[in-house]
């Protein structure tokens, strides 16, 4: 299955931390588009091209947002576009709060667990227009894949004042000191310190 679900849910103060995971290979593909309405959400979405993690977010993200936490964080191996732009060692990070993003970058540099701030560029928001549904989950073009995917997720965060999305690779393709080839827990130290600093 393309989407493995919620890895864990933690409450620290009023911060809400959900971790998502996705298998990169063997994703089920939707051969023809079909529309569906997320539970508790008014928009109909057209699903296609194996973008299961994002369409699953319509359910999980909107439910988490409905609890109105002070801080909502998701980590996802969402797009290959982020890897093409930044490579495997530097996760792309997006936030509705620029100060939060700057704080995470500073902590990441200190922890040697880096992220790179990326823009939620509103000009790309119209990439989700559809002739069949209120909202499409696949961009009309091939550019800006990571920012466009982040904008899609953002559609379902309306009540939470601070949302942080990290588009990561979670894999070491080459041997490095202390980081053998294989799975890598990217951003865990940085996000932990960020939450601790806000909930102290």
Secondary element (H or E) of residue 75: strand 71-76
**Contact call for residues 154 and 135 (beta carbons, < 8 A):** no
**Cα–Cα–Cα angle for 163, 164, 170, nearest 5°?**
150
CATH topology of domain 3-199: Aminopeptidase (3.40.630)
pLDDT on residue 1: 28
**Contact call for residues 150 and 118 (beta carbons, < 8 A):** yes
Q: What is the pTM of this model?
A: 0.76
Q: Please give the span between the terminal C-alpha atoms of the chain, in angstroms, as a whole number.
A: 38
- Summarize pLDDT for 129-144 with one digit per residue, the tens: 777 767 776 777 788 8
Averaged pLDDT, 162-174: 92
- Summarize pLDDT for 5-56 with one digit per residue, the tens: 333 333 333 444 444 333 333 333 333 444 545 555 555 555 554 455 556 6
- Summarize pLDDT for 55-104 with one digit per residue, the tens: 666 777 888 888 888 899 998 887 888 898 999 999 999 999 999 999 99
| Domain residue spans of the chain | 3-199
Copy the structure tokens of residue 15.
């911060």
Whether the pLDDT of residue 176 is over 50: the answer is yes
125: Cβ contacts below 8 Å, ≥ 6 apart: 151
144: alpha, beta or left, given left = phi > 0 and alpha = psi -120 to 50?
A: left
- Summarize pLDDT for 178-189 with one digit per residue, the tens: 888 988 899 999
């Amino acid at each position: 299955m393309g989407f493995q679900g919620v890895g864990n849910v933690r409450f620290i103060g009023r911060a809400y931390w959900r971790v998502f995971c996705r298998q990169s290979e063997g994703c089920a593909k939707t051969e023809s588009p079909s529309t569906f309405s997320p539970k508790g959400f008014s928009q109909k979405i057209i699903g296609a091209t194996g973008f299961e993690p994002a369409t699953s977010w319509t359910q999980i993200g909107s439910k988490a947002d409905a609890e109105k936490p002070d801080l909502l964080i998701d980590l996802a191996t969402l797009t290959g576009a982020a890897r093409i732009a930044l490579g495997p060692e530097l996760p792309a990070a997006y936030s509705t709060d620029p100060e939060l993003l700057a704080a995470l970058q500073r902590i990441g540099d200190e922890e040697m667990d880096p992220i790179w701030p990326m823009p939620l560029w509103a000009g790309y928001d119209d990439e989700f227009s559809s002739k069949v549904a209120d909202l499409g989950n696949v961009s009309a073009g091939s550019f800006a894949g990571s920012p466009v995917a982040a904008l899609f997720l953002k559609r379902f965060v309306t009540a939470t004042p601070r949302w942080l999305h990290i588009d990561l690779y979670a894999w070491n393709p080459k041997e490095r000191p202390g980081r053998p080839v294989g799975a890598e827990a990217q951003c865990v130290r940085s996000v932990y310190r960020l939450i601790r600093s806000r909930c102290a």
